[in-house]
Amino acid sequence: MNMMKQVLVAFLGATLVAQPCVAAEAKKALDEHSTFSGVYVGAGLAADYITAQIHDDDVSDSNIAYSALIGWRHQMENDWVFGVEGALGDRKGNLSNDSARFKFGYNWHWSAITGKAFGTSKDQLLYAKLGVGGIQVNGNVQGQGIPSHNFKGTRWAIGYERALTTNVHVKVETSYISYDKNFEQIQTAASFMYRF
């Protein structure tokens, strides 16, 4: 009977000692599998190209844009990633011809994200986005000021993201927005992100 008690106590002791180790291993496996799950924030810098028609003249401007972003994603067991992301930013430069000049204010976008994690550690992501974007424009025509207007349009984007650590990620993304009034915007941005 004493032998049975000793075996039972030894078994329970081994179980209690092993339980934290098993839980730690399970958490580690979950963390490794969820590289792209959760809430994140970030900041980006972009090369920005805008074209538009002003009084039948095709005009364009290449300049720098910057933005702050926030998003949420969920990584499935098969490594497909789904989520949403929003951003708010600004850009330099303007569009003008002989009779008109337009200056840009803030720009924004909301997009749905679909992607696939890959690599031996599943720490890389190829993704696509579809959503809506907008940009504030004001200026003057023949010396007369015009009211500020917020153009809106459909936004498409593709990108590549890499997890440098569990929380720190970087990405490169190219996007295209087609606004109304023959107005288009193309951006290629690099962003630094922190995942909570």
Summarised one tens digit per residue, pLDDT across range 79-107 is 999 999 999 999 888 877 777 778 888 89
Q: Spell out the alpha helix ranges (H) of the chain.
A: 2-33
Mean pLDDT along residues 21-36: 53
pLDDT value at residue 130 = 98
Split at pLDDT 50, 70, 90, the class of 6 is low
**Which sequence spans correspond to the domains of the chain?**
1-33, 36-195
pLDDT value at residue 163 = 96
Read off the pLDDT of residues 111-160 as tens digits, 9 standing for 90 and up. 999 999 999 899 999 999 999 999 988 877 776 777 778 889 999 999 99
User: pLDDT at residue 18 above 80?
Assistant: no
pLDDT value at residue 56 = 72
User: pLDDT at residue 3 above 60?
Assistant: no
- d(C-alpha 130, C-alpha 138), whole Å: 27
Read off the pLDDT of residues 169-184 as tens digits, 9 standing for 90 and up. 999 999 999 987 678 9
What mean pLDDT, rounded, does the chain reach?
83
Instruction: Report the relative pairing of strands 183-195 and 38-54 from DSSP bridges.
Output: antiparallel
- d(C-alpha 18, C-alpha 153), whole Å: 57
Q: What is the pTM of this model?
A: 0.78
Split at pLDDT 50, 70, 90, the class of 21 is very low
- d(C-alpha 76, C-alpha 26), whole Å: 17
Mean pLDDT along residues 51-76: 89
Split at pLDDT 50, 70, 90, the class of 22 is very low
Residue 119 φ/ψ, nearest 5 degrees: 95, 160
pLDDT value at residue 2 = 56
Fold of 36-195: Porin (2.40.160)
pLDDT value at residue 1 = 52
Residues of the chain with pLDDT > 70, as a percent, come to 82
